[in-house]
A and B are shown apart, each in its own frame.
Chain A
Amino acid sequence: MKKLLTLAAFAAGMSGLSVSAHAQDCTTKVGAVLPTSVDWGRPIAEVAQFAVDQVNEAGGAAGCKIEMVLRDTQVDPKVGVDAAKALVDLEGVNVLLGAVSSGVSMPILTSVTAPGGVMQMSCCSSSTAFTKLSEEGKTNGLWFRTFATTAVQSAMGAKVASDKGYKSVAILYKNDDWGQDMARLIAADFAAAGIEVTGSVAINDAQPSYRAEVTEALGGSPDAIYLALYPNEGTSAVREWISLGGTQNMILANSLKSDEFRDNVGLQYLENALGTDTASPRVASADAFKAAYVEKFGSEPNGPGLANSFDAAMIALLAMEAAGANASGADIAAAVAKVTDPDGAPITADVAGVTAAKETLAGGGTVKYQGATGDVRFDANGDVSAPAVIWKFTDSGTDEVEYLSLGEVDAFIASLKK
C-alpha cells in the first residue's frame, strides 16, 4: 500500500514536471488537408501556416510548439480521406484543418474525424449538408467551419422582403444542389418572417421555354418574386415573368449579380430589384489581417478563403490552448466556445493577441477572438455567419444599398429562429 502511494506521488510529481518541461521542447502535431496542388489552394495552406507561426512565436499552444503537418487533397474526396486517415492514424493528430471543397470535407468528416474523435475545422466548405448532419447529431460536435453557409444569403432575402413590406413572395430556383438548397432555406426564412410563399417553382436549365413554369409561379399573384437562378435561364425566366405581367418587385440571389442579366432584362424593369450577397467584414481586425498578410506575403489577400483559413487555424490552436495539455479532439472542440465567447475578453489575431489570450485562459477566463473575418462565432452546428450587403443594379454595374455587419446579420437570423 505504502509502495503504491509512493508510486502515485512519484507519478504526480513526474506529470507536474513534464508540464513544465513541455513548454520548452515538446511538439504537438496538427493536421491540415488542403488542395495544395491547385493554384488557389496553396495560399490557403500558406496562410494557415502563417497563423501557426504566430502562435508558436507566442509560445505555442497548451505548452507545446505546434507543427502543422500538411497533406494535399488534389480536390479529390478519395485522396483527401486517405490523407486525413494517415494524419489521424499515423501522426496522431487531434485537430484537422480542412478541407476546402464540401465534397472532400464531407467524407473526411463522416469516415475519419467524426468516428475518430478528431476536431475538424474547415476554412471553406459552404454546403448546408453539414448543418443537416450536425442537426442529426452525426458530427459529434467535432465539426466547425469559418465559411458562411448559403443560410446567410437566404436570411438576407427574407430581410429585404420584410423591410419592403412584401406580404407574399413566389420563388423561382435553379434545379440543382445549390438552387434546391436556397429554395428550401428561403422558404423557411420567409415563413419565419411571416411572409407567405405562394409558390416555389424549379427552373431546369437548357429548356426551350420557361413559360409554363412562370405561369405556375404567377398563379398565386405574389407581391414579389425571389430568384435563385443563374443569369442565362434567369434572363429567360424573368423576361417571361415581366411580359406576363408579373411584379417587378424582385429579390435576387448573388448569382444574378451579372451585367449580362441586367442588360438583357433591361435596367428599366429592374428598378425594384434588390439583390443580396455576403461581404467581407468592415472591422479593424479584418484590416489588421490584411496589413499583416501584405507584410508577410507581399500581396493583398484576394484569393478565396484566405481570411477564413487564417481564422480556422487560429481558432483551432487557441482552442487547443484553452483545452490544456493532453486534451482529446472532443475536449478541444468543446473549448472552441471558450475562445469565441462574445462576452469574453477581446483579443487580436496576432502574437500579442495570442499571448493575451493565453493569460486570460490561464486565469480561467474566456476570450472573444477578433480575426480576419471579424468576430467569429459558431452556432450549435459549427456554422458561422458573415456580414452581408444588399445591392441594386445601376447603369454601370451594381450599387450597395445597405451593409449589414456580422452582428446585424446574426441578430436578424436569430430573430427568424424565434
Chain B
Amino acid sequence: MIQHLVDGILVGSFLSLGAIGLTMVMHILRFANFSHAELLSIGAYCALVFDKLFESLSPFLAAKIGPLSMTAALALSILVSMALTGLSAVVIDRLVFRRVREKGGELSMVFASFGMSLVIRNVIGLIFGLSSELYSRDIAFAMVISRDPLLLVKPDQVFVLIAALLIMFALYLVLSRTRFGFALRAIAENPNLAQVHGVNLKRMIVAVWLIGGSLGAIAGVFYGLSYQITPVMGRDLVLPIFAATIVGGIGSVYGAVLGGFIVGVASNLALVILPSGYSPSVPFLMILLVLLIRPNGLFGEARA
C-alpha cells in the first residue's frame, strides 16, 4: 500500500512535467495538442544521441554520479535536449500549427496535432529503429527503505522527484514574480486585451512552446532513465498526461502539477483493488470523476 503510494508519487513527477507544458499550450493556443507527448520522445532521443556523443568525447563524463545511473554526460545532454526540443516545438508550430491556426478551426488543430504525433513517432522509428533503447544498460537496484511494510525506492527516482519539484518551483517563481510571467498569464487570460497593453503575442507563443518543449524533454529523459526509451513512448504517455492536465484544470500550472501526482498515485493505488488488466482505464475514470464533480478541473476556471 505504502509502496504503491510512493511509486505513484514518483510516476506522477514526470507526468506533472509533461502536463505543465500541455496545459500552457492548451490554454494559450486553445487547442488540445495530441502531439505534446511526442515532445517527450524527441527530448529522450535527443538526450540519447548527445549522451553517447559526450561519453565518447570524454571518459570522465561517462562516470556515474553517486548512486544514480545518471552520468555527467547525460546531465549535459539534458540541457542540450531541452534547447533542441523547445526549438523543434517552435519549428513544428511554424510549419504546421500556425498555418492551421490561421485558416482552420479548433477541430482542425486537433486533427493536425494527431497527424503530427504520427509523423514524429514514425520519423523517430525510422531513424532509431523500433526496438527500445536505454541510457544505461546497468540496472540500478532499489534501496530498501523499510522491510515491513516493504518499501523500495530507486535512487534515480528520488533524484527525478527532487529535480522535478525544483523545476516546478523555478517555473512558479518565473510565472509569479517576473514581468515575463505576468505577460504570459495575461495572454492566457485574454489575448486581445494583452496585446492592447503591449504584449507581443507571437513572441509569447514562441516562449510557450520553448517552455513546453524543454519541460517535455526533461520529462522524456526522466522517463527514459526510469524505464526505457521507445519510439512509441509518446503514445503510451499521451493519455496519462492528458488526464493530468484535465484533472488539474486546463490552464492551471499548479493544477497540472497536482493532476500529474493524482493520476500517478491513482493508477498505482488502483492495483490494490482492481486486477492489473484494468489499469489502463484508471486515467479515464479519473477524468470522468473529476469532470462530474468539477467540470473545469480542480483548478480550472470557466471560460467563454
> Chain A residues in contact with chain B, CB under 8 A?
175, 201-204, 206-213, 215-216, 218-219, 231-232, 235-236, 239-240, 242-245, 260, 263-266, 269
Contact = CB atoms under 8 A, between A and B. Distances in A.
Nearest to A209: B11
Nearest to B280: A204
Nearest to B140: A243
A209, A236, A260 pick with most chain B CB within 10 angstroms = A209
Question: 8 closest A-B pairs (Cβ-Cβ)?
Answer: A202-B277, A212-B268, A202-B276, A212-B271, A260-B131, A206-B236, A211-B7, A213-B276
Given A243-B142, A266-B139, A202 B275 contact: yes
Given A204-B279, A212-B279, A216-B271, A264 B227 contact: no
Interface residues of B, number: 40
A269 B132 contact: no
Given A202-B275, A213-B271, A215-B3, A208 B11 contact: yes
29 contacts: A204-B277, A206-B236, A206-B280, A208-B223, A208-B233, A208-B236, A208-B237, A211-B268, A212-B8, A212-B267, A212-B270, A212-B271, A212-B276, A212-B279, A215-B4, A216-B271, A231-B131, A239-B227, A242-B139, A242-B141, A243-B139, A244-B152, A245-B141, A245-B144, A260-B131, A264-B137, A264-B228, A265-B139, A266-B138
Contacts of A206: 232, 235-236, 280
Contact of B227 (A208, A212, A215): A208
Contacts of B276: 175, 201-204, 212-213, 216
Contacts of A202: 275-277
Chain A interface, >50% SS class: helix
B33 interface: no
Given A208-B237, A242-B139, A264 B134 contact: yes
B154 interface: yes
A243 B230 CA distance: 20
A213 B3 CA distance: 12
Contacts of A244: 142, 152, 154
Interface of B: 3-4, 7-8, 10-11, 15, 131-132, 134, 137-142, 144, 150, 152, 154, 223, 226-228, 230, 232-233, 235-237, 240, 267-268, 270-271, 275-277, 279-280
B141 A236 contact: no
Majority secondary structure, B binding face? helix
Contacts of B226: 209
Contacts, number: 95
B34 to A, nearest CB: 15
Nearest to A216: B271
A244 B267 CA distance: 19
B132 A264 contact: yes
A401 to B, nearest CB: 24
B243 to A, nearest CB: 11
Given A202-B275, A206-B280, A236-B132, 18 more contacts: A203-B276, A204-B277, A209-B7, A212-B8, A212-B276, A213-B279, A215-B3, A219-B150, A232-B131, A232-B132, A235-B132, A243-B141, A245-B142, A245-B152, A260-B132, A264-B131, A266-B139, A269-B139
Contacts of A204: 276-277, 279-280
Contacts of A265: 139
A225 to B, nearest CB: 15
B191 to A, nearest CB: 33
A334 B247 CA distance: 64
Contacts of A269: 139
A232 B4 contact: no
